[in-house]
């Protein structure tokens, strides 16, 4: 029983050592070329920013560096259970090249990636290579001892400090290899050291994570505030609308009851009035329900719901939609109400005669632009509409960008990171 357990732990350990060796070897072989290439390209690209070319290449290269770093984060978690936090700032993907480049260069996480590349191609490479060496080097010693005599090239071979000149020294090499074999249990630890080093250089600092938490807490509070405000609006709409109509209808019907025998003509008039009130109450309730979650949005998705919105506008509106699936209901709903507000703004404030709406999804980002050819001058903060959209999108880490120079045109872009089903 005891021997079985012992051999089990030995087998597990051997497997762990072999696995660490193979993983370390594969990692070190990929680390060096990729890290050197990424770092060189990033430097060259940033040097080319002043002449313009770098504006286009830098975001792409820094994006590739980020993906390289993310792969290492994943491996650290899967192989050694080490979590490496990341805190990149979201960047609107279809912003102008200069804006994108500038935003990336201002992100401390991007500079940390570049520092990490330098560590990764030196100390990182060595710590990743070590587990492989711990396995391969003893193997070499055994091969020297075993193949001495059959391979002529081995005469005068140096294995560590052993100079192999005859069968005796070849066995010496074998003995050294056997001694070195005792060090192989260090292989998994060396791999762990590699990822701990990676975490030390690449991991987001406590301050940044705290800042991220602060932003999330704030947007969550905004979301709660927004839904409380939404509830108050619904309450108000019900109170001033449908409830008032029903009260009026009740009073009309009461009077009808009294007048039925005395003045049938007047009673008929009041009945017609009550019927009218009931129809109005019904319309208001329908509008209210549509305002909470429009049926067309639930049934046909964002694209059709936006088209339906556009159809109701008094201006010529062109809608183009490129969606391969459906986003989550809360995202769809936020996007729908945001578009609805932007269209209302365009009709109310812009004096435009045309509106264009573009809805598409690419690279994990839902992107919506609403453009009008009106007089421009839109600013978030002047009313509650645009700030409300910012808050709504903030809940999903989405962003709103308004470009509206005096004289127009106005182009409002929204981006929400999300996946389509």
Site residues for Mg ion per CB under 5 A = 345, 385
Q: Is 383 in the site for ligand ATP (CB under 6 A)?
A: yes
User: What CA–CA distance (Å, rounded) separates 218 from 88?
Assistant: 18
Residue 17 zone, left/alpha/beta (φ > 0; ψ -120 to 50; rest)? alpha
Q: Per DSSP, what are the bridge partners of residue 414?
A: 368, 400
Q: Is 132 in the site for ligand ATP (CB under 6 A)?
A: no
User: Measured from the CB atom, is 38 or 400 closer to ligand ATP?
Assistant: 400
The option from ligand ATP, Mg ion, none interacting with 350 (CB < 5 to 8 A, set by class) reads ligand ATP
Residue 212 zone, left/alpha/beta (φ > 0; ψ -120 to 50; rest)? alpha
Token pair of 24 as six digits: 């370390």
DSSP-based three-state secondary structure for 352: coil
User: What CA–CA distance (Å, rounded) separates 52 from 16?
Assistant: 50
How many residues lie near ligand ATP (CB under 6 A)? 18
DSSP-based three-state secondary structure for 225: helix
Q: Exposed, middle or buried: residue 317 (CB in 10 Å: 0-12, 13-18, 19+)?
A: buried
Considering only residues 63, 85, 385, 417, which one is a binding residue for ligand ATP as defined by CB under 6 A?
385
Q: Is 346 in the site for ligand ATP (CB under 6 A)?
A: yes
Q: Is 291 in the site for ligand ATP (CB under 6 A)?
A: no
Q: Is 85 in the site for ligand ATP (CB under 6 A)?
A: no
Q: Per DSSP, what are the bridge partners of residue 407?
A: none
Considering only residues 45, 101, 198, 410, which one is a binding residue for ligand ATP as defined by CB under 6 A?
410
Cis preceding-peptide flag for 260 (omega within 30 of 0): no
Question: Taking contact as CB under 6 A, which single stretch among the options 160-168, 232-240, 278-286, 376-384 is the one that binds ligand ATP?
Answer: 376-384
The option from Mg ion, ligand ATP, none interacting with 379 (CB < 5 to 8 A, set by class) reads ligand ATP
Considering only residues 104, 368, 386, 416, which one is a binding residue for ligand ATP as defined by CB under 6 A?
386
Q: Per DSSP, what are the bridge partners of residue 371?
A: 356, 411
The option from Mg ion, ligand ATP, none interacting with 414 (CB < 5 to 8 A, set by class) reads none
Q: Are 365 and 416 in contact (CB under 8 A)?
A: yes
User: Measured from the CB atom, is 82 or 401 closer to Mg ion?
Assistant: 401
Considering only residues 345, 369, 395, 413, which one is a binding residue for ligand ATP as defined by CB under 6 A?
345
Positions touching ligand ATP (CB under 6 A) are: 345-346, 348-350, 372, 374-379, 382-386, 410
């Amino acid at each position: 029983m005891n021997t079985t357990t012992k051999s089990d732990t030995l087998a597990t350990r051997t497997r762990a050592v072999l696995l660490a060796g193979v993983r370390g070897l594969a990692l070190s072989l990929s680390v060096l070329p990729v890290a050197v290439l990424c770092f060189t390209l990033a430097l060259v690209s940033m040097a080319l920013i002043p002449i313009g070319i770098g504006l286009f290449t830098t975001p792409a290269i820094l994006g590739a560096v980020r993906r390289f770093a993310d792969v290492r984060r994943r491996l650290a978690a899967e192989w050694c259970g080490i979590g490496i936090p990341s805190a990149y700032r979201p960047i609107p993907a279809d912003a102008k090249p200069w804006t994108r480049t500038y935003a990336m260069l201002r992100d401390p996480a991007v500079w940390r990636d570049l520092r990490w590349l330098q560590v990764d191609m030196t100390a990182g490479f060595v710590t990743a290579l070590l587990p492989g060496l711990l396995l391969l080097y003893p193997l070499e010693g055994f091969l020297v001892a075993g193949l001495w005599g059959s391979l002529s090239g081995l005469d005068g071979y140096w294995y560590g400090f052993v100079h192999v000149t005859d069968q005796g020294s070849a066995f010496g090499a074998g003995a050294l290899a056997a001694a070195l074999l005792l060090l192989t249990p260090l292989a998994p630890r060396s791999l762990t050291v590699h990822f701990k080093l990676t975490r030390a250089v690449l991991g987001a600092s406590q301050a940044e994570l705290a800042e991220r938490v602060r932003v999330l807490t704030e947007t969550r509070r905004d979301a709660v505030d927004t839904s409380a405000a939404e509830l108050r609006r619904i309450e108000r709409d019900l109170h001033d609308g449908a409830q008032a109509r029903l009260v009026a209808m009740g009073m009309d019907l009461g009077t009808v009851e009294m007048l039925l025998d005395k003045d049938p003509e007047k009673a008929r008039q009041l009945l017609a009035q009550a019927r009218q009130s009931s129809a109005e109450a019904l319309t208001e309730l329908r509008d209210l329900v549509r305002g909470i979650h429009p049926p067309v949005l639930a049934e046909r998705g964002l694209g059709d719901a936006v088209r339906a919105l556009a159809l109701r506008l008094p201006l010529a509106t062109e809608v183009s939609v490129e969606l391969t699936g459906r986003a989550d209901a809360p995202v769809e709903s936020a996007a729908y109400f945001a578009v609805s507000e932007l269209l209302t703004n365009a009709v109310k404030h812009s004096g435009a005669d045309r509106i264009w709406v573009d809805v598409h999804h690419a690279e994990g980002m839902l992107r919506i632009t609403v453009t009008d050819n009106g007089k421009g001058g839109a600013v978030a903060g002047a009313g509650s509409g645009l700030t409300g959209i910012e808050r709504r999108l903030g809940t999903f880490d989405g962003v709103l960008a308004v470009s509206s120079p005096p004289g127009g045109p106005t182009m409002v872009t929204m981006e929400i990171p999300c996946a389509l089903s």
